[in-house]
Amino acid sequence: MDALAHLRLGKALQEIGHHAEAIALFDELLAQGPDPIDLRFHRGVSLGALGRVDAALADYRAVLARDPSHAGAANNAANALRRLGRHAEALDAFDAALAAHPDHPDLRLNRGAMAFEAGDLERALADFDALLARLPDHALGLNNRGNVLNRLGRHAEALAMFDRSIAARPDAMSAWVNRASALQGLARFDDAQASYARARALAPDAAIARWNASHLALLRGQYASGWPDYEARWASGVDLEPRRHTTLPEWRGADDLRGKRIVLWHEQGLGDTIQFCRYAPHVAARGARVVLEVQASLKRLVAASLPGIDVIATGEPPGPCDYATPLMSLPLALGTDADSIPAAPAYLTADPDDVERWRTRLAPRARSPRVGLAWSGNAAHRNDANRSMPVSALMPLADQADLYGIQKDVRAADRQTLSAHPSIRLPGTELGDFADTAALIATLDLVVTVDTSIAHLAGALGKPVWILLPALPDWRWQLGREDSPWYPSARLFRRPRDADWAPVVAAVAHFLANSFHLR
């Protein structure tokens, strides 16, 4: 077989996904001497498909060294830099390539995708608009533009984009998944579930469709389908912490735990750990010796609150164990449904000595009640724009109670607002770990918070907590209810669609006055 036939065979193998075999053929050709640009480019494609991104980048750069006008190599080199996390270099590479090839659709598409990942939504929108101006039926361009609009909260416009994308390519699973997300934003939940079902029919093994569908099922209290589909998170491609303790078998509820030792390990955020550590005693009740791995900032609080559980921090060795299970898989393993959520009035406890220290540090009451506030969470959270609020939105409460900011981090704009309201104290900035925060909360009459770890902590302590939620909340808060099945002491205040936080805060002020008989 001559070199050209080998090259054609390599490309054919590449097209059907047999990249290792294709690379072997390409390597054989390169060893024979000639080094055509096409060969080097296609080897880079297969190397990238197998995750050998550095090697792929080297091939693309070799192509560009010989042919700087090779648009495909320029696009793929920039994408390789993006995959390697070298974002500044990738952006420069995309910019340079687009300067040379302003009408190249893949370059425009991929730079827009990179801007979207970086949270630069306006730039992403501009790139997708430029692409669609030339190719109005570009299915992936329509899909990606819909994703930007969805993130901006423009759900009706996003839905129109996804419908156009599906019209151009009806078998695109991702467009059906994204369409479901837009429908959720419009509170069209039955239609959203139908869209997820269509995505799953097109691609039964697509983990992202199962993972997203699980959130909607759990939001609607459909635990029988929600918990099993939630297990798809590990294969969904979503940016989660890597699985740990993978050398141990996972306990999924069936095996007898008597005389066994199991490590339950945290995943996702601090609030998730607080919410799901409640399951550790229930696993222990099955006869297991339980090791509970939590974030370091939670170790002191959880260890003091859960006697009989061996609590360790991330990175500390659990010792010999027979099983390992991530915390958020325990509802499935234990068969949790709407009637069996373990919702004790309080399952975490503040240290009495720490509580007394905070009592002596807080100023004497100027008025009653004492209310702790948390108005924003992690600014890097992808849903931060929806779940956080400026502290200025809570100022109508300032005349009704002694207010204490109990979050550790305060953004610059909020500091400026608070400087004009010195009566609002900020003990939260002095907090160490969550045991400190728990002790501070124990001195208060009420916590008013957005959906952050503070909401979970107050609920787990049994402290009255009023949680301010966006129109489309996280799945655990469900829909259309003022209480929480997870936290008996919680009251939920929901932001109306297409409204700011003002009506929510007005409702809080009303209930605050009535609950504490304020005049």
pTM, rounded to two decimals? 0.88
CA distances from 126 to 103, 113, 114 (A): 14, 11, 12
User: Phi/psi at 251 (nearest 5 deg)?
Assistant: -80, 125
Q: What is the pLDDT of residue 160?
A: 98
Counting Cα atoms < 13 Å in the Cβ hemisphere of 73 gives 23
Q: What is the pLDDT of residue 315?
A: 93
Q: What is the pLDDT of residue 139?
A: 98
Contacts of range 103-108, beta carbons closer than 8 Å, 24 or more positions apart: 103/134, 104/71, 104/75, 105/131, 105/134, 105/135, 105/138, 105/141, 106/71, 106/72, 106/75, 107/71, 107/74, 107/75, 107/78, 108/141
DSSP one-letter code for 247: T
Please list the pLDDT of the chain residue by residue as tens digits (519 residues).
Answer: 466 777 788 788 888 888 888 888 888 888 777 678 888 898 898 999 999 999 999 999 998 999 998 988 988 998 898 888 898 888 889 888 888 898 899 999 999 999 998 888 999 999 999 999 999 999 999 999 999 999 999 999 999 999 999 999 999 999 999 999 999 999 999 999 999 999 999 999 999 999 999 999 999 999 999 999 999 999 887 777 888 999 999 999 999 999 999 999 999 999 999 999 999 999 999 999 999 999 999 999 999 999 999 999 999 999 999 999 999 999 999 999 999 999 999 999 999 999 999 999 887 776 679 999 999 988 777 788 889 999 999 999 998 899 999 998 899 999 999 998 888 999 988 899 999 999 999 999 999 999 999 999 999 999 999 999 999 999 999 999 999 999 999 999 999 988 899 999 999 999 999 888 654
The H or E element spanning position 441 is helix 434-442
- Whose structure tokens read 């958020």? 328
| The CATH homologous superfamily of the domain defined by 352-515 | Glycogen Phosphorylase B; (3.40.50.2000)
Residues 340, 266 contacting (CB under 8 angstroms):
no
Distance CA 115, CA 142 (A): 16
SS3 letters for 73-119? HHHHHHHHHHHCCCHHHHHHHHHHHHHHCCCCHHHHHHHHHHHHHCC
Q: What is the pLDDT of residue 478?
A: 97
The H or E element spanning position 310 is strand 310-313
Distance CA 93, CA 82 (A): 10
Q: What is the pLDDT of residue 517?
A: 63
- What tokens were used for 410? 């305060």
CA distances from 514 to 65, 505, 510, 517, 518 (A): 74, 14, 6, 5, 7
User: Phi/psi at 252 (nearest 5 deg)?
Assistant: -120, 20
The hierarchical CATH code for the domain 3-203 is 1.25.40.10
Distance CA 15, CA 32 (A): 24
Characterise 52 by phi-psi region: left (phi > 0), alpha (psi -120 to 50), beta (else). beta
Q: Write out the DSSP string of 391-410.
A: GGGGGGGTTTSEEEE--S--
Q: What is the pLDDT of residue 519?
A: 46
User: Reduced to 3 states, what is the DSSP secondary structure of residue 221?
Assistant: coil
Nearest to 57 by CA among 71, 73, 70, 69: 73
Identity of residue 89: E
Query: Is the four-CA dihedral 91, 97, 100, 101 of positive or negative sign?
Result: negative
Q: State the helix-helix crossing angle for 173-185 and 207-219, rounded to 10 degrees.
A: 20
Query: Is the four-CA dihedral 310, 315, 316, 319 of positive or negative sign?
Result: positive
Domain-by-domain residue ranges, the chain? 3-203, 261-333, 352-515
Query: What's the Rg (C-alpha) of the chain?
Result: 27
What order of strands is seen across the sheet that includes strand 446-450? 402-405, 370-374, 446-450, 465-469, 490-494
Distance CA 234, CA 241 (A): 9
User: Phi/psi at 269 (nearest 5 deg)?
Assistant: -95, 175
User: Phi/psi at 255 (nearest 5 deg)?
Assistant: -70, 145
- What tokens were used for 148? 């930007």
Distance CA 414, CA 436 (A): 23
Cis status of the peptide bond prior to 136, with omega within 30 of 0: no
